[in-house]
Chains A and B, each alone.
Chain A
Amino acid sequence: MALARCRYTPPSPKIRGSRKSILEYSPSSECPDPASALPPTMTSTAGTWNSGGGEARLGRSPSCLLLRLFFFFSPPSPLSRRAAMSDTSSVSRLSWNGNRDDSFLDYNLLTSMTVSFLQELPSYRSIVRRRTSILSRDKSGGTLLKPASSEIRSYLETGKSEREHLGSQSIRKYALNISEKRRLREIQEAQVKYLSDWDQWKQYSTKSWKRFIEEAKELASHLELWKNDIRSIEAKFGTGIQSYFSFLRFLVILNSVIFTIIFLFILLPIILTKYKITESTFLILPSNEVDMRCKVYPVNSTGLIYFYTYMIDLLSGTGFLEWTSLFYGHYTVDGIKFKNFTYDLPLAYLLTTVVCLALSLLWIVKRSVEGFKQNLVRSEEQFQSYCNKIFAGWDFCITDQSTAKLKHSSIQYELKTDLEEERIRKKIAERTPEETLRIYSLRMLLNAIVITVLAACFYAIYVATVFSQEHMKKEIDKMVFGENLLILYLPSIVITLANFITPLIFSKIIHYEDYSPAFEIRLTLLRCVFMRLSTICVLVLTLGSKITFCDNEECRVCGYNHKIYPCWENQFGQEMYKLTIFDLIINLAMTVFVEFPRKLLVTHCSSWKVIRYWGQQEFAIPDNVLGIVYAQTICWIGSFFSPLLPAIATVKFIIIFYVKEISLMHTCRPSTRPFRASNSNFFFLLVLLIGLTLAFIPLGISMTHIPSSKACGPFTNYNTSWEVVPKTISTFPSALQTFINSITSEAFAVPFFIVICLIMFYFIALAGAHKRVVVQLRQQLAMESRDKRYLIRRLTEAQEEMRNRPS
């Protein structure tokens, strides 16, 4: 049995290599006992290693083990006779389909004894055991590799089947070809007859259940959005670019879900009121505390509207758009009366926003957990980077010849830079103190330049925002169409310009900083992310300061500058709306007016050297991802002030998807610097997460600290919008109230925080311990392999002896 088992082993466990190394192995060197290398706690914690250590101890007295072996192979033993029989039969069958693995043939005949022995070796077994235990923990359910498909093959050959082994396991998991699988199935089916009715029924039902699940999955896969588009992109350009489009699809789905929630809980009640299906109470008239001045909200002229004002309104959200349900100001309903209860719209409005943000957070975290896990494993295994690049380097999805060529060169580039990085690391270690000092001072200087550039950008955005806010209120009629639009869009234009120029500056600066190539890319990316997201921050802060700042005492009356901003939430929403629209326009314009002419130039005037050198536009994944994360962050910030913004963002992302697809297929070329799918999935979500946290800050401040405007919106009766929550809680039964109060009090929060910290420390300590154990296990594995080689050497010697004796 044991002999037959190894016959098929496609990779008979490294006979060649081990034989070579046997020669190098010096018998004089004592094998240290691996069990003693471990601290006493180890043997108790790592259960699987008890046996490993014990078996390794056997290896210390190889002569005893060899004796056993000889007993095993000696002729009179009935056990070995059977082994010999199956050996001859396997030889004959080898000649029958030996052509299948002709290359192993001579091996299997010559070394079948050694090979079988190899599989019985303790260290080999423990590797198998360890791997399966790891896998079963990961997958939690039977997907672990059956120890070796060779064993299954041997069952196939001998016809003897162990019921529990084949059982109801899915044949799919064995690495066999179809004809072999068919035989396996026959054996399984033959077994079924011997099973009890209950087991048969169980097997049948699990099978049909599985088939049902598969059918359902297949049906569901037809519903998947853009399945074919993404598939064809993946087939042509590989998984890196595919992950960008999957990310875009995720954002479309996320935004449409957010919009659905907003529609159901905010818009639908309003619509029902409008068509008199339900009755609603409008806002209660002002209580005396509030100054009348705060309630004035001058409505713009409703006279003749010129076409160009109409266009301006459409692009900037002013005029007729200001009073539609697009913006916060429209929602002035207080309660909607249904038959039994009153729907509290202000509360619903606030909670919907909070729920949408929480939902986005949970969804992103859930998606990023997988990538985060992989990243953790990878960062632990820093030294595995080469293996990942070599064994998983080729993207088998690629079918496009030019993409394949690009992939070749990018792999070559990556490998070269990695090797160079190693050399640079060595060089850094050898750096003299003067050189170190010089480089550090240079880096300080360059970082100062970076900060200056950033500060200049932020200042420009600040100035532009202030200018645009101050001049916006001027008479529209007196201005030329373009000038007006320019003023309205000034902040957006400045932000876009800053986002366009700074990455160029950063990528130039980084060359002088003398970092390793991989770190260069990462640092540039980090700076760009910072730039992108902080521009929004600056804009929001400027607006916030403009809203709460007044020249004279007037602010005290309402808590905000009611002269310029009678309904500041609307203005805020308009800013976000403008940013969204402008971003879309820029995206479209870049494709139509830059990439397309460039492509035309490159294809038709390729004789000019400059143009050929210039080439087609690169499809750089990080830049594109930053672009859409920026758009999404704006959408999150704006969703409170402009509830329909998620819907606009959905449409926008759909348009961007098609535009990018077209530009990728026709006008762009994939980037020479590849982006790995595993890297990207985590990176995208991380940046998105940063964007989301950024969105929390202005929303939180505006909800809790800036007084809500008294002239419009659902929160006219409250000081700040958040006040609606405590007010609602105060209507709850007293027991619930005390419960909620105690949960939100410091007395609860502080211990809770401490407990969480303790749990975190526990996990950190656990991780550290695991890391140490891994190192020790690694050492032990290396030692055991030395045992193995020693044993093999002794065995081959013994074989030689046996062979020589009869002759």
Chain B
Amino acid sequence: AEEDFSWFDLTEIELLRVKCLPHTLDVLRASSLYTPFHIQLSHKTQRARAHRRFIELLPPESRNVEDSLRVRVSTEQILTLPELKANPFRERICRVFSTAPERDSLSFEDFLDLFSVFSDAATPEIKSHYAFRIFDFDDDGTLNKEDLKCLVNCLTGDGQDTQLTSSEMKQLIENILEESDIDRDGTINLSEFQHVISRSPDFTSSFKIVL
């Protein structure tokens, strides 16, 4: 019986519950329904802010509570958010957090998920897990040299003049692998990545988005 129990049913139940509550304020209170789900956005104000942000992205006719919980927003629209506009990893972030089949749109839950991972309350382990997935450009589960190259290019900017020369890049990638690839197989896996990150003093303070 448990196998038939798909998560779409659950969402429907949630929506029914939400429909009984007319005002946005109540939805925010209703989003304390979400508290048991332990979204890392523990503060109600933050959740409220996220919801407001999400509603702003919707077309005017569906700017109500019910639609906001059902509708998906495409990646292009998400990318117009000021919080993500300047971020070089914005496309990767959207891709990682999307639960849509084509990975091209975000529901409100995905949206909440995104900002909860980037909030202060998220544990360093959660953060490093998602950072790994964001940095894994080809989605193959390890950071190989190509991923590192993309990562460095994202960091230094897209322009031709800002990129490192190929010899510098080669040297840099070798250095990175030297430091983090504990088992010397030429790629960085999740546990190696998390090990490195646990020793990186800047990571938790910089891996967050202020809503």
| A residues whose Cβ falls under 8 Å from a Cβ of B | 9-18, 20-21, 99-101, 103-104, 123-124, 127-128, 131, 134-135, 143-145, 149, 159, 170-173, 175, 177-183, 185-186, 211, 214, 217-218, 221, 231, 234-235, 238-239, 374-375, 377-378, 381, 383-388, 390-401, 403-405, 408-409, 411-412, 415-416, 419, 422, 676-678, 778, 781-782, 784-786, 788-789
**Contact partner, B155, options A128, A390, A396, Cβ 8 Å:** A390
Q: Is the CB of B182 within 8 A of A781?
A: yes
Closest to B180 in A: A387
Q: Which residues of B contact A123 (CB under 8 A)?
A: 183
**Contact partner, B125, options A12, A144, A396, A778, Cβ 8 Å:** A144
Closest to B156 in A: A412
Q: Is the CB of B168 within 8 A of A416?
A: yes
Q: Is the CB of B182 within 8 A of A678?
A: no
In the A-B complex, list the 6 residue pairs whose CB atoms are closest, starting with the nearest: A785-B183, A11-B141, A678-B201, A17-B187, A404-B86, A408-B157
Q: How far is the CB of A243 from chain B (nearest CB, A)?
A: 8
Q: Is the CB of A183 within 8 A of B7?
A: yes
Interface centre among A135, A386, A395 (most CB of B within 10 A): A386
Q: Is the CB of B7 within 8 A of A16?
A: no
Q: Is the CB of A221 within 8 A of B182?
A: no
CB of B35 closer than 8 Å to a CB of A: yes
CB of B20 closer than 8 Å to a CB of A: no
**Contact partner, A788, options B83, B183, B210, Cβ 8 Å:** B183
B51-94 contacts to A, CB under 8 A, are: 82-83, 85-89
Q: CA A159 – CA B5 in complex, angstroms? A: 10
Q: Is the CB of A374 within 8 A of B38?
A: no
Q: Is the CB of A239 within 8 A of B198?
A: no
Q: Is the CB of B184 within 8 A of A394?
A: no
Q: Is the CB of B144 within 8 A of A16?
A: yes
Q: Is the CB of A103 within 8 A of B176?
A: no
Contacts A13-B189, A17-B187, A399-B85 given: A235-B210 contact, CB under 8 Å?
A: yes
Q: CA A786 – CA B7 in complex, angstroms? A: 43
Q: Is the CB of B109 within 8 A of A178?
A: yes
**Contact partner, A392, options B7, B125, B144, B197, Cβ 8 Å:** B197
Q: Which residues of B contact A18 (CB under 8 A)?
A: 185
Q: Is the CB of B184 within 8 A of A16?
A: no
Q: What are 14 sample pairs from A and B whose C-beta atoms fall under 8 A apart?
A: A11-B136, A11-B142, A14-B187, A104-B140, A131-B195, A172-B38, A173-B125, A175-B129, A178-B110, A390-B148, A392-B202, A404-B87, A412-B162, A677-B205
Q: Is the CB of B191 within 8 A of A131?
A: yes
Q: CA A543 – CA B180 in complex, angstroms? A: 56
B1-51 contacts to A, CB under 8 A, are: 2-3, 5, 7, 10-11, 34-40, 42-45
Q: Which residues of A contact B132 (CB under 8 A)?
A: 11
Closest to B140 in A: A16
Closest to B32 in A: A211
Contacts A171-B38, A181-B37, A403-B86 given: A782-B156 contact, CB under 8 Å?
A: no
Q: Is the CB of A175 within 8 A of B130?
A: yes
Q: CA A9 – CA B101 in complex, angstroms? A: 18
Q: Which residues of A contact B83 (CB under 8 A)?
A: 235, 399
Q: CA A381 – CA B2 in complex, angstroms? A: 49
Closest to A382 in B: B179
Q: Is the CB of B135 within 8 A of A391?
A: yes
Contacts A392-B206, A677-B202 given: A214-B42 contact, CB under 8 Å?
A: yes
Interface centre among B3, B39, B89, B141 (most CB of A within 10 A): B141
A-B contact sample (14 more), CB < 8 A, given A391-B196, A394-B154, A678-B201: A11-B140, A143-B125, A175-B125, A217-B43, A218-B44, A239-B202, A377-B199, A386-B175, A387-B179, A387-B180, A398-B87, A404-B86, A408-B88, A408-B155
Q: Which residues of B contact A235 (CB under 8 A)?
A: 83, 210
Q: CA A127 – CA B194 in complex, angstroms? A: 11
Q: Which residues of B contact A20 (CB under 8 A)?
A: 185-186
Q: CA A332 – CA B133 in complex, angstroms? A: 69
Interface centre among A238, A394, A677 (most CB of B within 10 A): A394
Q: Report whether over half of chain B's contact residues are helix, strand or loop; otherwise say mixed.
A: helix
Q: Which residues of B contact A131 (CB under 8 A)?
A: 191, 194-195, 198
**Contact partner, A16, options B109, B142, B152, Cβ 8 Å:** B142
Q: Is the CB of A390 within 8 A of B37?
A: no
**Contact partner, A789, options B87, B136, B185, B203, Cβ 8 Å:** B185
Q: Which residues of A contact B156 (CB under 8 A)?
A: 408-409, 411-412, 415
Closest to A783 in B: B183
Q: Which residues of A contact B178 (CB under 8 A)?
A: 383
Q: CA A398 – CA B209 in complex, angstroms? A: 8
Q: Which residues of A contact B85 (CB under 8 A)?
A: 399, 401
Contacts A131-B194, A211-B35 given: A411-B11 contact, CB under 8 Å?
A: no
Q: Which residues of B contact A183 (CB under 8 A)?
A: 5, 7, 10
**Contact partner, B86, options A101, A128, A170, A399, Cβ 8 Å:** A399
Q: Which residues of B contact A214 (CB under 8 A)?
A: 42-43
Contacts A177-B99, A178-B109, A397-B210 given: A17-B186 contact, CB under 8 Å?
A: yes
Q: Which residues of A contact B203 (CB under 8 A)?
A: 388, 391-392
B149-190 contacts to A, CB under 8 A, are: 151-152, 154-157, 162, 164, 168, 171-172, 175-176, 178-180, 182-187, 189-190
Q: CA A788 – CA B185 in complex, angstroms? A: 11
Q: CA A131 – CA B198 in complex, angstroms? A: 10
Q: Which residues of B contact A144 (CB under 8 A)?
A: 125
Q: Is the CB of A13 within 8 A of B200?
A: no
Q: How far is the CB of B179 from chain A (nearest CB, A)?
A: 5
Q: CA A255 – CA B156 in complex, angstroms? A: 41
Q: Which residues of B contact A159 (CB under 8 A)?
A: 2-3
Q: CA A778 – CA B86 in complex, angstroms? A: 39
**Contact partner, A145, options B3, B44, B97, B125, Cβ 8 Å:** B125
